[in-house]
Amino acid sequence: MVHRTPPALLPDDAHERAARDRGARFVVGLDEVGRGPWAGPVVACAARLTGDAPAGLNDSKKLTAARREALVPLLLACCDVGFGEASVEEIDTLNIRQATHLAMRRAVAALSHPPDHLLIDGNDCPAWVDCSHELLIKGDGRSLSIAAASVLAKTRRDQGMVSLAQQHPGYGWETNAGYGTRSHQDGLLKHGVTQHHRRSFAPIRKILCS
């Protein structure tokens, strides 16, 4: 079931409450970050609110980096959280869609309690989902659980790319998170392709074949 209603100005818990009214006990929001970058893993987070969500929680893309980082300890204090990643090697072997689904599966498996209802951002349901679920277009701006997963996945991946930037300076990963920005393109021209680049992605494949 795909919901295409316009997103609210701020996410709320309407979908969570509706699921609990239908008998669900463990309602989990699921989101991912990193499908588009040319380098680095794709990261997913599954989040179940166990307390009140912190004020100002929203879609991670609508928050500053400082605000996202400030929310992390608050979210970890009020959520059961699971993280999952798919590596560059898995992205290149499986394709980015299947690797994303693998990261999501790992995130759900890392929760303290398996969900009996999933709120999934987007319109693409992984084949492994075997519980009741809803696909929410722009769900990170509509559901507090998905918003929490969105912020946590984004900050985790960004921190990982900062660490990779320290090992491989010159690509701007500490600011571009592996996306194909001008600084990243300039780094590729100067330093070449690393083991952290997605060789199945057309811009990287073009460099390797030139």
Output the known binding site for a divalent metal cation. 31-32, 121
The rounded distance, in Å, linking the Cα atoms of 93 and 99 is 9
Residue with tokens 């970058």: 37
Q: 120 with 105: CB under 8 angstroms? A: no
Continuous H helices in 11-64: 14-21
Four-residue CA torsion sign, 168, 170, 171, 177: positive
CA distance 71 to 4: 28
C-alpha 11, offset from chain centre: 17
- Which parts are annotated binding residues? 31-32, 121
Q: How far apart are alpha carbons 192 and 67 in whole angstroms?
A: 34
